[in-house]
């Protein structure tokens, strides 16, 4: 599938943090830089030195065009690719809140469109992306998008676009929740008398180590939690607070994810 992209060409509209992560993954997957057209008004020195076709327009019929601009910039950016609409080029969007219907209105109703939601761990090859497409994308368009997003991590197929806001809320926004947990754990350590630098080192290493253990283990997250928890011990005392049925983390996380999903739906209107 990536051989097809290398042969027919790929357009990347926008090369900020996520666009750069994707581009690095594609180059590592041996898509030649000469097969990649990038449209980015403020290119970094890194981008300038890659050998990609930077701000040189677009080919007449590339295999795929990846829309990696922020949702609020989408309206101004899409005209650069309008000539590719209603053709063979698969439009792959990573923008939260920009619906397939909006993209069909911009490019034409016959355009193959795949909507995806990656997350920032793609920057280190550990991302996860949910994907769904319109009828014109078909199995081929989804397979193409899956191959592209697999270059930076895992991919999950969604039942339809109705699930994309939930994916955005859980995994798209989720890294920020984890980063805030690191902040909160470090602050709690300082409150218990640790130096700030030591508390932050402990919190970061613990979250990163626990995440890697979860990634490598065949056991469920619940079982991994049980493995750490001795009855009547220190972990059990902390979990009694975190798992309180009225004020615990489950209730807080449910509200947080719902707020993110609701905001995604608002952006899509």
> At the fourth CATH level, which superfamily is domain 174-267?
ProC C-terminal domain-like (1.10.3730.10)
Residue-level pLDDT at 87: 93
- 61-103 pLDDT, tens per residue? 999 999 999 878 888 888 889 999 999 999 999 988 889 999 9
The dotted CATH code for 2-161 is 3.40.50.720
Residue-level pLDDT at 210: 98
User: Could you say which residues of the chain have pLDDT below 70?
Assistant: none
Residue-level pLDDT at 4: 85
Which sequence spans correspond to the domains of the chain?
Answer: 2-161, 174-267
* Under 8 Å between Cβ of 98 and 268: yes
Residue-level pLDDT at 2: 84
- 124-134 pLDDT, tens per residue? 999 999 999 99
Residue-level pLDDT at 1: 76
């Amino acid at each position: 599938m990536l051989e097809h992209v290398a042969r027919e060409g790929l357009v990347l509209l926008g090369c900020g943090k996520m666009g750069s992560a994707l581009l690095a993954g594609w180059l590592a997957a041996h898509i030649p830089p000469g097969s990649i057209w990038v449209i980015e008004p403020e290119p970094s020195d890194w981008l300038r030195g890659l050998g990609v076709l930077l701000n040189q327009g677009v080919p007449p019929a590339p295999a795929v065009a990846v829309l990696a601009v922020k949702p609020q910039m989408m309206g101004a950016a899409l005209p650069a690719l309008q000539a590719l609409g209603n053709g063979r080029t698969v439009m792959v969007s990573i923008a939260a809140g920009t619906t397939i219907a909006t993209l069909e209105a911009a490019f034409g109703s016959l355009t193959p469109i795949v909507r995806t939601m990656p997350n920032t761990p793609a920057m280190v090859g550990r991302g996860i992306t949910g994907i769904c497409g319109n009828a014109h994308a078909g199995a081929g368009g989804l397979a193409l998008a899956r191959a592209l997003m697999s270059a930076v991590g895992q991919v999950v197929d969604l039942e339809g676009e109705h699930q994309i806001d939930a994916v955005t809320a859980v995994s798209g926004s989720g890294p920020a929740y984890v980063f805030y947990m690191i902040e909160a754990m470090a602050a709690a350590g300082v409150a218990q008398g640790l130096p700030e630098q030591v508390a932050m080192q402990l919190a970061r290493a613990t979250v990163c180590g626990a995440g890697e253990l979860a990634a490598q283990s065949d056991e469920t997250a619940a079982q991994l939690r049980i493995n750490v928890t001795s009855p009547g011990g220190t972990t059990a005392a902390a979990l009694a607070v975190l798992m309180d049925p009225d004020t615990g983390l489950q209730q807080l996380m449910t509200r947080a994810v719902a707020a993110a999903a609701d905001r995604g739906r608002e952006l899509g209107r």
